Amino acid sequence: MVDPGGLTEPDGAVSPDGYQGDVPPEASERLSSSAWSSGLSVNDFAACAQMGIRPVALVQGFCVLGWSWYGAGSPYLYRPAYGGAMGGAWGGMGGFRGGIPGTAGGGFGAPFSGGYQGGGYGGQGAAGGSYGRSRWGSTITSYSCPHSYVGMDHRSFGENFEQRWVSDAWQNGFDTAFSRMMQEAAAAGAHGVIAVVDRVSHLIDSSIREFHVYGTAVVVQGAPRPPAIWSTYLAGQRLAKLIEAGFMPASVVASLASVRVWAVCVTQALMAGGYQTGGWSAPSGEITQVSDAQMQARRLVRDRVKSSLRGDTLHGAALGVSWSDVGEGDYQVDAVLRGTRVRRVRDADPLPAPKLTLRLS
């Protein structure tokens, strides 16, 4: 994640004088206009005026990315963990089913190790070992078959894999759009950007994604230009309350984590109601591999965002998660976490304890 800095950290941040010229001529012309624009509601505008915050321009950034998961040239074709299987007897995507992933915990050599016996299957080789790691991602947990059986249609191995190239691509798109918005803000002479909105949508078809980030560039009237332009999803009354509570927004933060479930035989069977085409069955109960993936995606994105906080606090976090059944037990979970990194800049006493009132209107 590109750290957008904000407030007092100029590292990686756009300084007020940091206009790099990555802004189209139309935008430059608009930003130099005598009239200003803003995305603020009237309420937010009134609240900002009360604080001495004046809008100078609606600023925005765009980035359009090509987007695919498994097509030609997909990183899956180059994953080292499956390289042998892909070129071996299993061949093609079948390599993912019966493939033996080298040094997986338990693995083929010890199919019952941590398998369905005892405490249930799963949890092997958690993010460790030398397999499954590459610049494309890494294995989070691996799962081994309890059946002591190998066959083309039997998934003797499964894993939850973090798809780093997906999250990296998303981050690249978001950071690029965000950076362009901040460059517009710098060109407009802003001190900060408030009421930020970001949208990620498919353009034309699913192979193209557009990242759009926009907000209202503002100046604090009478204040010196800050070392770096700050940004926040908040505006108006909520921004006023945040500052009154002793915090100052530093930067918008957003990230995505993507976890792919390559189902082991038992997961495949349970996702089909307990049976699979090979005739294997599994008792009903928790589908540990899917439960793990749901947790892992959320934890990954939270920890990734936390690593960029520099001791500050993520305020108003919004966690959005989508998942899809890819088929035959396979599964994908994408988690996006966004919020405003805030810093305590002055001490503030707590509010008085609430009192009950009955409102007549």
Partner 1 sequence: MTSGNDGDTPAGNLRDTLLSLAAKGYAPSMPARKGSTSDLSIDEALVLHSVGWEPVELVCGAAAFSIPAGIWTWNQGEVVAASAAYAGAMGRAASALQAECRAVGGHGVVGVRVDVAVERHLVNAVMVGSAVAPSGGARPPALPFVSDLSGRDFALLRLGGWDPVGLAFGASFVNAPRRSAAVAIRQSSQNVELTNYTEALYAARESAMERMQSVAGQLGGQGVVGVRVSEGPLPFARHVLRFAAWGTVVKASGRPDQLGPVSVVVPLDDAKLAFDAASLRGR
Binding to partner 1 in span 13-42, by CB under 8 A: none
Window 165-194: residues binding partner 1 (CB under 8 A): 191
Give the x-and-dash track for 276-315 against partner 1 (CB under 8 A): ------x-xxxx--xx--xx--xx--x--xx--xxxxxxx
CB of 27 to partner 1, least distance (A): 27
The single residue among 59, 196, 270, 336 that binds partner 1, judged by CB under 8 A, is 270
For helices 236-244 and 42-51, angle between their N-to-C axes, nearest 10 degrees: 30
Half-sphere exposure of 93 (CA within 13 A, CB side): 7
3-state secondary structure of 125: coil
**330: contact with partner 1 by CB under 8 A:** no
Closest by CA to 198, choosing from 230, 217, 175, 166, is 175
Report if residue 123 touches partner 1, rule: CB under 8 A.
no
Work out which of 35, 72, 204, 360 binds partner 1, going by CB under 8 A. 360
How far apart, in whole angstroms, are the C-alpha atoms of residue 334 and residue 340? Answer: 20
Tokens of 54: 């004046």
Residue 279: CB minimum distance to partner 1, A = 13
CB of 52 to partner 1, least distance (A): 4
Distance CA 318, CA 339 (A): 6
CB atoms within 10 A of CB 307: 11
Report the nearest approach of partner 1 to the CB of residue 342 (Å). 9
Name every residue whose Cβ is closer than 8 Å to that of residue 360 and which is 6 or more positions away in sequence. none
Task: Rule CB under 8 A: say whether 155 interacts with partner 1.
Answer: no
The pair phi, psi for residue 321, each rounded to 5°, is: -130, 135
Interaction between residue 321 and partner 1 (CB under 8 A): yes
Chosen residue from 51, 110, 208, 326 binding partner 1 by CB under 8 A: 51
Q: Which of 71, 91, 118, 273 binds partner 1 (CB under 8 A)?
A: 273
Query: How many residues of this chain interact with partner 1, rule: CB under 8 A?
Result: 85
